Amino acid sequence: MTNQSAPNNFLSILGIEAHNPGTSTGKNHFMDAAAPVKNIHSPVDGSLIGSIAFTTATEYEEVVAKAEEAYLIWRKIPAPKRGEIVRQYGNLLREYKDALGKLVSFEMGKSLQEGLGEVQEMIDICDFAVGLSRQLHGLTMHSERPNHRMYEQWHPVGVVGIISAFNFPVAVWSWNSMIAAICGDVCIWKPSEKTPLSALACQKLMARIIAENNLPEGLFCLVNGDYKVGEWLSHDERIPLVSATGSVRMGKAVGSALAQRFGKALLELGGNNAIILSPNANLDLAMVGVLFGAVGTAGQRCTTTRRLIIHESIYDQVKNKLIKAYGQLTIGNPLEGNLVGPLIDKDAVNAYLNAIEQLKIEGGNVLTGAEVLTGQGYESGCYVKPTICEAKNSFKIVQSETFAPILYLLKYNELEEAIAIQNGVKQGLSSSIFTDHMQEAEEFLSAWGSDCGIANVNIGTSGAEIGGAFGGEKETGGGRESGSDAWKAYMRRQTNTLNFGKELPLAQGIKFDL
């Protein structure tokens, strides 16, 4: 397959014409002369995949109006019936998994295996949501008043805004939208302006399911654009909940806007994830987790391993193993079996270079990598070598998240010190320890252990399963998506008291006689 022909093949299979504008509610709209048009180039080879028009303010109003109309219908459909629509979508994703996975890989730059894995994650969350559609349970409680029954139930919130990031251009949308859908909500999705074609493909497939079931097209909507469109969603009082995945800076803006209008925010923001390597670790096992965590998706995951906290007794051994392993990485076109693909764009490359320069200024030491690749196969200018550095946790650059494959090696002596280093950053997403010592594992998982939303033992920081609630603490935002009881974020709780007696006793024994 040649890169020049591949993009159009993916798009045509998914029902998208290359170089055409995007959609608002599933139908192509004309190229509005007033709307900015963005050309989408693949970071794989720099080729033009397509062009997409940003949503105008007028179109945005039309989208919200259609979403509100659809909600009035959707909320009355029984949850298991809503689950049936999600089931059909999951089956359609199975049919188009290969084409969509290749489009994700080509548009974003992650390996083909990861692109296919992302679509599989969508399929998995559909399956999860279908089962969940029969389990949206409430609670019953005993009333202190005679002949009274108390219970609580959950209702949909309405129109949900979803702002997703480029690194997972389709999966994170599904985490939110499939769960929100079975809860009775409708969704308006603003994908990253860097990867809108993968989003458009998902929208096209969903439009087929909606049409086949004679449902209102406003159930799943798409709006394209830059941060301004995100601001529209965040400030729109018609949208009670906005789920936003991205940088801490973006999350602060979204959270602040929602707080001003008492809206609900579900934030999935930055990560500065660490793995602790104990002297009791199985190092052969650990190297697999460290390597994938550090270089998977070219370091462009919120769960990427950025800090490796190594016991001083095994530090040199681990360092040498890693340098050898990094020397065996294949870097290149992600659709051709290479383990490491490109960064998303040249801005990301510059951030990579700036981080390495800042590390050197602060006194760090580069062990391997720190190079932008050029020449045949690297024409896009977005390929870099995964980098290993020696550093201190107190370095300013180590305290921040650089979305690139840079791994910082840190030493520790006692487990308490290692946990303090792990927790000693503003982010709190994912964490891990490799140890075969039960007491070390339990201390890491205790209330005085990792302060992250995800804490793993003998697996890496990335690769979370959809069955567990995904999210983190501190500047990661506190949101939870996907599994467990994360569905409650997309619903409103209502406490009900039912009096089936012939008298009206008041709570706390209050008397109010007329």
Task: Return the number of other C-beta atoms located less than 10 Å from residue 218's C-beta.
Answer: 27
Residues in the chain, overall count: 514
Cα-to-chain-centroid distance, residue 422: 22
Structure tokens at 64: 């919200």
Which of 187, 198, 128 lies closest to 165, judged by CA?
198
As annotated, the active-site residues are 268, 302
Give the C-alpha separation, 22 to 50, whole Å. 10
Question: Residue 359 is inside which H or E element, if any?
Answer: helix 346-361
285-308 per-residue burial string, b: 16 or more CB within 10 A, e: under 16:
ebbebbbbbbbbbbbbbbbbbbbb
Give the C-alpha separation, 410 to 364, whole Å. 11
Give the C-alpha separation, 304 to 466, whole Å. 17
Give the C-alpha separation, 235 to 261, whole Å. 8
Question: Residue 276 is inside which H or E element, if any?
Answer: strand 273-277
Give the C-alpha separation, 430 to 462, whole Å. 8
β pairing state of 148-156 and 491-499: antiparallel
Which of 451, 395, 496 lies closest to 150, judged by CA?
496
Contact 407, 460 (CB under 8 A): no
- In degrees rounded to 5, what are phi and psi of residue 264? -100, 135
Which of 190, 182, 170 lies closest to 119, judged by CA?
170
Which of 338, 328, 395 lies closest to 365, judged by CA?
395
Give the C-alpha separation, 428 to 475, whole Å. 7
Structure tokens at 74: 């959707």
**Residue 434 pairs with which residues in a beta bridge?**
277
The DSSP result for 16-80, as a single string, is --TT---BSSSSB----TTS-EEEEE-TTT--EEEEEEPPPHHHHHHHHHHHHHHHHHHTTS-HH
Three-class secondary structure of residue 392 per DSSP = coil
Taking every pair of C-alpha atoms in the chain, what is the biggest distance, in angstroms?
Answer: 91
Which of 174, 197, 160 lies closest to 42, judged by CA?
197
Contact 162, 188 (CB under 8 A): yes
Dihedral sign (CA 482, 484, 489, 490): positive
